[in-house]
Amino acid sequence: MHCGTTTMDQLDKGLSISVQGPLREEALARFAAQLKQWNLAMPAVEPLVLDFGLGEFDKIGLIEYWVANEEAAGYCGKFLFVFDGQTCPKHHHKAKLETFFVVKGQVEMEYDGRVWMMNPGDTLRVACGHPHRFTGRGPALLLEVSRPCVIDDNYFADPRIPIGGNYQTSVTHHSSLITLADPRIPIGGNYRGGCK
């Protein structure tokens, strides 16, 4: 690898757990309408439409457009979009230092147990190991600038979220249904398609 080469292996990993089908298309159409209203454009990359494996996209989810994820150079840049009332769930990172900049809209931010409103132009530096989450108060677009994004460096407070570093691969039994804890395995009650 050399300088100037974008490494998007982590994006491919993220896309494999991204929402697919009609829900994805509908979410992206709503997002495109909002971008048109704001007179903004996103980079020409495949977006991640995430429900964090919970199947409640309108409540817990977001859309991400990765501009760069330069692991060798040590930086990442991506746009994060939430609809009104939609939450990026509480989590922290052990290795990733990140800064959020609100481009459009408002978000209710929770960081280190404190909750407040962030408006366009507001910035928040999120240190490693510090829990954070945000919720759209109206549609909102944030820019994240950070150390490289590594999917397994997301440690979610909600143990139902089947991704990230605190997720345990195991077999659990639910009545007569066997659910494998790894959503990439194409059997069991948690399979959504894709190949993460």
Domains located in the chain, CATH noted: 9-159 (2.60.120.10)
- Give the residue with greater pLDDT, 195 vs 6: 6
- Give the residue with greater pLDDT, 42 vs 166: 42
Rg (alpha carbons) of the chain, rounded to whole number:
17
Q: Given phi > 0 = left and psi -120 to 50 = alpha, else beta, which region is 52?
A: left
Total number of residues shown for the chain: 196
Lowest mean pLDDT among 33-42, 66-75, 84-93, 177-186: 177-186
What is the mean pLDDT of the segment spanning 64-71? 92
What confidence category does residue 176 fall into, taking pLDDT thresholds of 50, 70 and 90?
very low
pLDDT attached to residue 7: 58
What is the mean pLDDT of the segment spanning 165-184? 44
Say yes or no to pLDDT of 116 above 60: yes
Q: Quick count: other Cβ atoms within 10 Å of Cβ 42?
A: 15
Say yes or no to pLDDT of 60 above 50: yes
Which SS3 state, helix, strand or coil, does residue 15 take? helix
Which SS3 state, helix, strand or coil, does residue 90 take? strand
Of these ranges, 8-22, 24-38, 59-73, 157-171, the one predicted with the greatest mean pLDDT is: 24-38
Both tokens assigned to 98: 């990140």
CA-closest candidate to residue 102, choices 148, 154, 59, 137: 137
Residue with tokens 């993220």: 14
pLDDT attached to residue 8: 66
DSSP structure class, residue 149: P
Give the whole-number percent of the chain exceeding pLDDT 70.
81
**In this predicted model, what pLDDT tens digit does every residue of 101-111 receive, in sequence order?**
999 999 999 99
- Give the residue with greater pLDDT, 16 vs 74: 74
- Give the residue with greater pLDDT, 131 vs 9: 131
Mean pLDDT of the chain: 83
Q: Quick count: other Cβ atoms within 10 Å of Cβ 46?
A: 13
- Give the residue with greater pLDDT, 181 vs 155: 155
Cα–chain center distance at 49: 8
Q: H-type helices in 39-158, by residue range?
A: none
